Amino acid sequence: MTAVLAKIQSNQQLTPQADKDIFSIELVPLNETHAFDYQPGDWALVSGLNPDSLVEKVLALLKIDSKAEVELKRFGNLPAGKALVESLEITQLNPAILNKLQRQFQIGLDRWSDRAAMMDYAQGKDVVDLLEDIPEIQRLGADFLQLLSPLAPRYYSIASANTHDVASSLSPLRLLYRRVEYQSSGRTRLGVVSNWLANQPAGKVLTIDIKSNPTFKLPAGKDSPIIMIASGTGLAPFLGFMEQRVANQATDNWLFFGETDPEKTCLHCEKLNAWKNKGFLNVDFAFSRVEPKAYVQDVLKQNADKVWESWQQGALVYLCGSQDKMAVAVQALWQEWFAEKLNLTETEAENYWQQMRREKRIQMDVY
C-alpha cells in the first residue's frame, strides 16, 4: 500500500436534483514524487474526520472536557476532543469493545453470551447508541476512550485508468462517492469520510493510500469480452475499466447499470453514451423510480440469450455495488442460468458459481 499526497482538482456533485448526494472528485498528485501508481479496479483509501455533533455527544455522555488530555496507546497524549475527531472510531461500533467491557470492567456479562451476540448487537450502532443504552458505561469517563478502535480510512473504488493520455506522470485519479446521511433511532447518522470529503474545496491537499485489488482485474487480452454489472456508485471501477479498454482499442464491452432516475441519477451517462456512440461500449440501463420500473437484474434477464452467448464466448463477468441487494439478485439469476443451460441441480449451480469465482471468470467488488 502506497501513501501519496494529492490535491483536489474538482469535487462535483452529480445529483443536485436527486434525494441523494453523489459526487465525482478528481485528484492530481501534489508533485512527481507522489505520482499515482494503480490499475483499474484498485482502491483509494481516504481518511476523514468524525462529525463534530457526534464528538460533542460522546464528550457530554462521558462528562469529559474536550481540552482534557488523555493518553492513548497508539497516539500518545492528546486533548480528548482532538482524539475523538481525528483518531478514534465512533460512527461504527466495533464488537471488540463489548468483549473488552466484559473482560476489563465486567459490564454486559448478562447481555452478550458470545461473539455472535456481540456482532448482532453492534450491527448498525455507533458509540453513542452504546453509551445511551448502557448508562453504566458512561461512568468510565476517559477510560472508555481506551477501548475505541483507531479511526480507519474508507475504501473507494478508483473511477479512472492510469493511462497517461497526456504523457504526464501527474495524470488525475477520480473517485465516485455518495455522501452518507440517514436517520436512525431519532438521530441523524453521517458517514465519516463521505461527509468530510463532500465539504472539501478544490486545492485542498489530501493524503490517500493506493491499495491493489488483485481479485478485480481486467483480462490480459483486449479480445476477451467483458460484462460489467453495477448499481449506484458501483459504476466507479467500470469507468476505469472503460478508459483502459478504450486506450487498448478493446471493443467487446457490455455494461448493465442500475440507478433510480434517468434525469436525476444517471451517473456519467454522457461519458457512457459517448463510448457507446464510438463503438466501444454496449450499455443497458435500469431505472427503479420511473415506469417501467426495472432493476439491473431485470435488464440482464431481458438480454438472457445474448448474455449467455457472450458467456459461452469466454466473457468475464464483473459485479460492483450493493452486496445485500444487487449482488444477491444477480447471483441468483446467474445460478438459474447455470442450472438451466448446463443441466445442473440448484446445489450444483451454486457450486459452479463459486468455481467460476475461484477461476476469476466472475469477479466481485461488493459492499
- CATH 2.40.30.10-classified regions of the chain: 2-48+157-211
One-letter amino acid at 264 equals: K
The alpha carbon of residue 172 and the mean position of all alpha carbons in its chain are separated, in whole angstroms, by: 20
Q: Please say whether the beta carbons of 157 and 320 come within 8 A.
A: yes
For residue 307, pLDDT over 50 is answered with yes
Only one residue has cell 474508507, namely: 154
Q: CA-CA distance, 217 to 212, in Å (whole number)?
A: 10
Residue of 10 and 2 predicted with greater confidence:
10
Q: CA-CA distance, 343 to 355, in Å (whole number)?
A: 16
Rg (the chain; Cα; Å):
23
Given 3.40.50.80, 3.40.190.10, 3.40.50.170, 3.65.10.10, which CATH number is that of 226-366? 3.40.50.80
Q: CA-CA distance, 227 to 299, in Å (whole number)?
A: 13
- Least confident range of 32-36, 48-52, 164-168, 312-316: 164-168
CB atoms within 10 A of CB 331: 19
Domain spanning 2-48+157-211: which CATH class is it, in words?
Answer: mainly beta
Peptide bond into 150 cis (omega under 30): no
Hey, what's the cell of 65?
Answer: 472536557
Nearest in space to 156 (alpha carbons), one of 287, 22, 49: 22
DSSP state of 182: E
Q: Where does the pLDDT of residue 168 fall: very low under 50, low under 70, confident under 90, or very high at 90 and above? A: low
Nearest in space to 58 (alpha carbons), one of 148, 147, 146, 131: 131
Quick one: pLDDT at residue 277? 98
Give me the percent of the chain exceeding a pLDDT of 70.
98
Q: Where does the pLDDT of residue 170 fall: very low under 50, low under 70, confident under 90, or very high at 90 and above? A: low
Only one residue has cell 420511473, namely: 290
One-letter amino acid at 297 equals: Q
For residue 166, pLDDT over 80 is answered with no
- CATH 3.40.50.80-classified regions of the chain: 226-366
Q: CA-CA distance, 237 to 248, in Å (whole number)?
A: 17
Strand 187-190 and strand 154-157: the pairing is: unpaired
Q: Where does the pLDDT of residue 51 fall: very low under 50, low under 70, confident under 90, or very high at 90 and above? A: very high
For residue 136, pLDDT over 90 is answered with yes
Only one residue has cell 493518553, namely: 71
Does the predicted model carry a pTM greater than 0.85?
Answer: yes
Edge-to-edge, what's the strand order for the sheet holding 43-46? 154-157, 43-46, 205-211, 2-13, 22-29, 173-178
